[in-house]
């Protein structure tokens, strides 16, 4: 039962994080939420994302980290989640590595 709840919260956070980053971003980079992981106690959530262009990664991560408290308020007022977890943002290195492998494997 707890596992289902955790997955549901992760999906809600993913949906709202995507909307929030789109609305709050300045349009210089495309931020795509790729994964959400919650701690076993549900108190912490890490939102993983990729950026395009890749050169905007560092500024996008700084932007997302600056907006953590604002995003938590956004979740509180819009999501219906009873206990809002603490939020962190990270670049999805796994997705980045997968894309690199795809690119390498497509070369003749």
Question: CA-CA distance, 100 to 93, in Å (whole number)?
Answer: 10
The low-confidence residues of the chain, meaning pLDDT below 70, are 1-2, 107-108
Distance between CA atoms of residues 65 and 70, nearest Å: 10
* pLDDT, position 51: 92
CATH 3.30.70.1560 given to domain 2-106 = no
Classify 39 as helix, strand or coil.
coil
pTM: 0.85
For position 42, what pLDDT does the model report? 85
What is the reported pLDDT for 27? 84
Q: Look at residue 40 in the predicted model and tell me its pLDDT.
A: 86
Domain range list for the chain: 2-106
Q: What are phi and psi of 53, to 5 degrees?
A: -75, 155
| 2, 35, 52, 58, 67 from 96: Cα distances, Å | 30, 12, 11, 14, 23
For 15, the enclosing helix (H) or strand (E) is helix 2-24
pLDDT on residue 1: 56
| pLDDT of 2 | 66
């Amino acid at each position: 039962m707890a596992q289902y709840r955790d997955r549901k919260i992760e999906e809600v956070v993913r949906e709202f994080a995507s909307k929030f980053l789109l609305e709050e971003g300045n349009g210089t980079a495309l931020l795509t939420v790729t994964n959400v992981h919650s701690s076993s106690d549900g108190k912490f959530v890490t939102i993983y994302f990729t950026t395009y262009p890749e050169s905007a990664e560092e500024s996008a991560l700084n932007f997302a980290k600056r907006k953590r408290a604002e995003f938590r308020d956004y979740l509180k007022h819009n999501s219906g989640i009873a206990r809002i977890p603490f939020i962190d943002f990270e670049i999805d290195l796994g997705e980045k590595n997968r894309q690199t492998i795809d690119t390498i494997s497509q070369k003749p």
